[in-house]
Structure 1
Amino acid sequence: MTKIEVNGALLAYDEVGDGSPVILLHAGIADRRMWREQVGALATRHRVIALDLRGYGESELPPTAFAHHDDVAGLLDALGLTRAALVGCSFGGAVAIDTALAHPDRVSALALFGSAVSGHEWSDETNDLWENLVGDVDPEDFAATAAAEVRFWVVGPERTPQEVDAELVAFATAMDERALAAELALSAVDVAELDPPAIGRLAELTMPVLVTAGAADVPDIRHLADRIAAEAPRAQRLPDTPDAAHLLPLEHPTPTNTALQTFLP
């Protein structure tokens, strides 16, 4: 693990390999450890940088205003990189998209797994799924909230916990408990959003885009993958991966790595 100053904050990252640069951006329920199966696989051809976004994992959170997408561009500056391919999952996918819109000359390609999109409002269907599956949870109880989020996102509404690898569930729960503490701290800081948000600007993503999702993920995420693929001019939509939910790269690394090795420049 290395730390580097970016826009006034020390950000933590792992770096391995040589070649064209690739930055891995984690889900909001996780940290850079979710890419444990991708780092080595991609390092045979790429300079791979797995980043903890500001406030998450081992990255710092100074009490100053910032934007995650500006941090990604700042990381490129700090590392002396002109451009990089961005690989994102969930919230990390949203950050990758926002970076590509705010700093289009810095992003050579986007690979999106179960990506969120800034400005998207969750559907009534997804809200009802949450209510039916986990119901009310005390947000101050990190253990209970993490268990609920992992049940909803990592297991998924179409599977039972018994159908999912127990080690995956335990690892995701540990990451999410840490991420929830990060999000509580982030709520006290002015985090700037992309304006206007990405949901109405997907046609501006002119770089190559790879997009996919887990077949067991919530419907909104799969619909967003369809929308990104339909609106981004150079997007490639891979079929949803069977028996996979929101942390697709962690749950099914082999098809993820194959897709990335084929797609990344």
Structure 2
Amino acid sequence: MDLYFESTGNGHPVVLIHSGGADLRLWTFLAPLLSKHYNVITFDGRGACKSPSPLKHANYVEDVRKLMDYLELKQATIIGHSMGGQIATDFALNYPERVSKLVLIAPALTGYSYSKEFENYHIKISEAAPNIDKMLELALNSPTYQVVIDSPQKDLTAKMLRQHFERVLEWPADFRIKWPQPKAYERLEELNPETLFIIGDKDLADNYRVADCFRKVANIRFIEMQNADHMLPLTHSEDLYQEITAFMEV
């Protein structure tokens, strides 16, 4: 296994998948709480922090499977945030037998058509490269970070995002992510594991539209957390812990 991972605690395995622009430090506050009761596995996705950079392609869904195989985990609760939630959803659709329960925290969704406003935000950041200071300024000046930017976790957020930009600039120009087909957006009704969906009340409109896509799935419980932006794992770890453990113990 070439990905960097950490395993803490004992009991039922829980695999945490971090968002884009972050690394396993996203779970700095939530993982220790969960590890009181469970075996918690956090890892740096390919190209993040201590894991190797991707080559021409990366298959993040298969990376999760390989990590679970390496750790000899036949099944686990899978928790994913943002792009990590996107990976978790695709993993659950393609390997349902490996997922005991699924927790999605403001997930992205493969195949969903994001708004022009959302796309332009990311284009502006890319156009600022290789000026990382400017990229960071543009990225953080977004409703995505409106709560965390005024919290004690501001510095950790900025540090992870800066390191993400530094790594991305080293990736091959023709880098592509390989997602399973058909795309998750087209087959959400096939999502089988019992699922908990959590989103902050101050998250982006696009992420709420993604939430609406998931409402077609029968076996999902939805929770909206108050005074929370997109970065729930950093600002609302205690609330997440309470909701996730209650969901897992049912």
TM over 0.5: yes
Q: TM-score by structure 1 length?
A: 0.85
C-alpha displacement at 1:66, in angstroms?
3.6
2:136 equivalent among 116, 134, 146: 146
How far has the Cα of 1:139 moved from its partner? 2.6
Q: Which amino acid aligns with 2:32?
A: G
In structure 2, relative to structure 1, the CA distance for the partners of 1:65 and 1:209 (3 Å cut) is same
Q: Which runs of 5+ in 2 are unaligned?
A: none
What is the DSSP-based 3-state SS (H/G/I as helix, E as strand, rest coil) of the residue aligned with 2:128? coil
Partner of 1:174: 159
How far 1:110 moved relative to its partner?
Answer: 1.1
Alpha-carbon distance change, 196 to 16 in structure 1, aligned in 2, over 3 angstroms:
same
CA displacement 1:49-69 (0-9 Å, x = unmatched): 011111111111353644100
Q: 1:183 to 1:99 in 2, by over 3 A?
A: farther
Alignment check: 8 A CA contact 2:136 2:162 kept: yes
Instruction: Describe the shift of the 1:138–1:258 C-alpha distance in structure 2 as closer, same or farther (beyond 3 A).
Output: same
**Partners of 1:25 and 1:253 in 2: CA distance:** 15
Structure 2 counterpart SS, 1:11 = coil
Q: In structure 2, what is the Cα distance between the partners aligned to 1:44 and 1:171?
A: 24
Task: Tell me the residue number matched to 2:229.
Answer: 245
Which residue number in structure 2 is paired with residue 20 of structure 1?
Answer: 12
Pair 1:115 & 2:101 matched: no
Matches within 5 A, 1:27-106: 27-61=19-53, 63=55, 65-106=57-98
3-state SS of paired residue (1:231): coil
Unaligned runs of 5+ in 1: none
RMSD: 2.3
Q: Distance in 2 between matches of 1:52 and 1:217?
A: 24
My pick for the range that moved more, 60-69 or 116-125, is: 60-69
Q: Which residue number in structure 2 is paired with residue 218 of structure 1?
A: 204
CA offset at residue 87 of structure 1?
0.5
Alignment size in residue pairs: 247
TM-score by length of 2: 0.90
Match of 1:203 in 2: 189
Paired-residue identity, %: 27
Could you say if the C-alpha distance between residues 135 and 173 of structure 1 is closer, same or farther in structure 2, counting changes exceeding 3 Å? closer
Return closer, same or farther for 1:17/1:199 CA change in 2, 3 Å cut-off: same
